[in-house]
Amino acid sequence: MECLGPQCAATMLEWLRARAAEGGLAAAPATAPGAARQGLLWKAAPYQEEAPAITSAAEMAGAVEHLQFAVFRRYQNQLTRAERGRLDNSIENALFKIERYLSRVDAAERVCHEGEVARLRDEVRDHKERTERLRLQARRAELKLAQLTTLSPETFEEFVGELFEAMGYEVAQVGGTGDEGIDLHLRRGGLLAIVQCKYHKRGVVGSPELQKFLGSVHHAHAHKGYFVTTSTFSLAAEKFSADHPIELVDGPRIVELVTQALGPGARKEPEPSWF
């Protein structure tokens, strides 16, 4: 039966009163002192960065949660130099206070946290080593960038490989006879890509060269191809690449990739004179 307006509300109220009188809507009993209660989902206390020390098990749990998030944010996100510095300080401070706290507690509590803290410490160390290695590779690429007019085709290929390594790819050089226009194989995660390097001081790369390169991309079962040159591409080549899994990397784009590899906020060198 359809019920509308005040009549509906009155009918519902009458029904509720009848149910309460029958005992069908008994009030929930108050919690007796000492009775079991539902536990809280979060056991940790908020981590206080400005506090000089960790003083309780709850604060310790909060510090570990803070450290887990800080490590993830520091090494899995694109950050500015200032953000990286703040997170580095936060991670170092948290590790220092955690180690001091663990040195004071009993063995049972120490065992609860030692494994995770050791894992996070190793993760920070590994990321620092990898970051430093990539930074040095990017610096080498930066130096070669200013010397591109004097590089040989072979050295240019090495330069391109170092640049992609600095960007986080696993690089394998191919080259030689029968390479089918493939100079480098790239892997990152599940991505497979190939690279062809063309060292030209003058001239323009046209669409016929890209059509041959596309055949190499398909033959290698690659997801993508990078065609890297020190010269420029014709309009027809640019239109062809827009319809196929080929990325064109010319002189100005090489400069952008070196800057990207160096990271946000890196010192910028004057652009080389060859373009």
| Model pLDDT, residue 200 | 72
Summarize the confidence of residues 199-204 as an average pLDDT.
76
| pTM metric for this prediction | 0.50
Q: How many CA atoms lie within 13 A of 201 on its CB side?
A: 8
| Model pLDDT, residue 166 | 83
Q: What is the pLDDT of residues 218-246, one digit of tens each?
A: 999 999 999 999 888 999 999 999 999 99
Summarize the confidence of residues 124-128 as an average pLDDT.
88
CATH 3.40.1350.10 fits 152-262, yes or no: yes
What's 172's DSSP letter? E
Q: What is the pLDDT of residues 132-185, one digit of tens each?
A: 877 776 677 667 666 676 778 888 888 899 889 888 899 998 865 556 779 999
For residue 30, which phi and psi values (nearest 5 degrees)? -70, 150
For residue 47, which phi and psi values (nearest 5 degrees)? -80, 130
Domain boundaries, the chain: 57-138, 152-262
* Strand 224-229 relative to strand 232-233, pairing: unpaired
